[in-house]
Structure 1
Amino acid sequence: MNHNLSYLHPYPFAKMASLLADSSPAHAYPEIKLGIGEPKHAPPDFVLDVLRENLDKLCQYPSTNGLFELRQTIAHWLERRFFLHHVNANTEVLPVMGTREAIFSFVQAVVNHGDNVEESKEGSSANTSLDKQLPLVVMPNPFYQIYEGAAILAQAMPYFVPCTISNDFKGDYRLVPNEVWEKTQLLFICSPNNPTGAVMTMDDWEMLLRLSDKYNFIIASDECYSELYFTEPPIGLLQACANLGRHDFKNCVVFHSLSKRSNLPGLRSGFVAGDATILKSYLQYRTYQGCAMPVPHQLASVAAWQDEKHVAQNRALYQEKFVLWMTELGELLDLRMPDAGFYFWIKVPEQFDGDDEVFVKALYEQANIHALAGRYLSREVDGHNPGKGYIRVALVASVEESREAISRIRKLLSA
């Protein structure tokens, strides 16, 4: 077996299961799940219709780079959404089976050890082991755990940039030492961020692009929450490139998905777009990997990317729930409106000693509400875990369930 598997951390939900193993939920209440970021809004019927109408095409082997019709649709969507002059559907777009799988495999494809490969040590990270010759993958902290796991299994070392209230939960990349950038091969950015909801600005992107030019590393932008905004659509990495005249998207790729945008997590449909040179090699990797989207899924995806009406309706539902939570709980909880996304990143009340594990246990045992302890989404670096003292709440439940959850939380806080 790959010895690096032993260095992987348990997934956050496995940690939650262990935390609650000896607890019993408040049986007086039906369960409300706010811990997992799985969309619960209804998927668009017209997309499901296309899927059903094309089930006979399951008899076909799908090509790794997908149907031209899908690539072209995605290219046009990128041009409209991010004000891009031209996206080449043949060289700058690659459909994938969901961005989770694509993010993981992308790291395996792009990390280059050259002649310097040495064993990593259990529990170590580049923040504390800069003397190592392993390539570095820089990522925000807290983060989507696939970034870290993919880096470890590619035998690279993760370097964590803390995202705290002092830097608007975006991370201050100006504080990353030059010696880190010199060893960095890949930088992950999540904008809008999971779990904090922070969004990168044009100034933020320009700074990172200049660093990428100086140190020659790839920027991978996870933009799966980009369509869940409140007023202005967030600027994406490719849009920032275009604003700076970088129309070849050098060393830049983005990941997008229909899971959150269109409430289709089970369709496993997304795409990678950007630097054609990088995608050419990544396509070769995926050809050997043998991971291609079924043709019915591709045709359903075409319908989804071509329509914006259902996306606007989806945003409106999330906006309604955020307003409800802020109005009903804003005076009792330290609620901070995210820039985008569907998560609240909530500071634990003092009555729970600021302990995120204590708070999520209380929510479970006294209100039968599932939330996620913030420390499980981040790593301790130099004695500080930036997720500790926070919980993540996903506003994926219905408006009615949200009202019920708010009522239970009010009772819990006043007890």
Structure 2
Amino acid sequence: MYTHTRSSEFHFAHHSMASAARQIAAPPAAQPPLPDELLEDIFLRLDAAADVARASAACATFRSVISAHRFRRRFRSLHPPPVLGFLESGRPGAFHPADPPHRSAPAARALAQAADLSFSFLPDATPICWNVCDVRDGRVLLYRRASDTDAFADLVVCDPLHRRYTLLPPIPDDLAAATGGLGFEKSDPFLDPATDREEEQDLSFRVICAVQCRDKLVTFHFSSVTGKWRGITFNRSTPLNPSMVRYRVLFERNYAHRCFYWTFCGTRSLFMLDTPEMKFSVDDQAHGRYGPQKQAIVEVGEGRLGIVIVGDGILDLYSKMLGNKNNGVGTEWQHDRIIPLPQMDCRWSILGAAEGHLLLQASPQISSRIQSATLESHYFTLDLKTLLVERLCRSNQYIGGAHLYASFPPSLSLPSI
């Protein structure tokens, strides 16, 4: 009896220990997956687009959430697109991506590999056929002229990442007649960034073509929604010197607060086109040096207009409160601050402005353009929100005009055409 009892107790204890061991060794119950809406909110809190791109490569679930059209639109609305490089004005297909250690270098390299920045998908895309004249929101505006005598060039808006394009119709003769012929051959086409893109499937865009005449400024506006052009004429109170109308480089065009601004070398007038209302106005108290590539009109905060002027190794920032849009007059300009530039023995200039950044060029101190074309130039960006100057890339070729390319990595980019 004693032996049987001890044996029963032994077997019971052994069975209990084995059961406990199995309970300890058993894997924990699988956690329920996080809902897509919660994952989406988590990914939206990531600051850098590169971090989101890396997260999308972690697993199929993350990739499904991040690649969804809804998430990409929400991320783009919350985060400004990073600068990935710039396109040259006079050399089709010349893309200069951000170099390491720039934070956008990986995304810029991915863009260069995924996009067709030689624009070989365009009609009659010969090497000297199309030239870049503006870049915004992942779209590129290009032009071509059949001959030097053509008044207006052919225009095409394209999406180099998704290889889509729209060829614009020519400006009708009855609208073009508003220029009166003078300055007619010096049209200046550019993309309108004020396009309403709130609708999820909205791929619309607008193009503006400005013509500086002796006694007026004429703009032609194209909408991809209507497929038509319309014209607006602004008459000047004081005509310009006819010999200077031909030189478009003397006209500085900038965009801020949904308005386009033009300054003309040698005058104190600042012409403004309010794109939401499609109205012109003029401010006779403009500020600046009025030299090509020496200043840029920018946004410096809610209700404030700024102007950045290139100095000797510095940038001077001036600003003033915006006035009544009906007369364009605001408060006086105030000197806000001095922004130091990297200490280099070079000549500084402003090549472009877009997406909250300025593109700065530091070129060699050489009087001859032929000599400077063989020397290395450095390119920097100025973040207008943080006023951070950051080196973007370098080149040993002379670049007279450029357009910043700001967008998201290919995995986060939406079709724009």
Q: The TM-score by the shorter chain falls in which range? A: under 0.3
Greater relative contact order (Cα 8 A, min sep 6): structure 1 or 2? 1
Bigger share in strand? 2
TM-score by length of structure 2 reads 0.26
User: Which structure has the greater CA radius of gyration?
Assistant: 2
TM-score by length of structure 1 reads 0.26
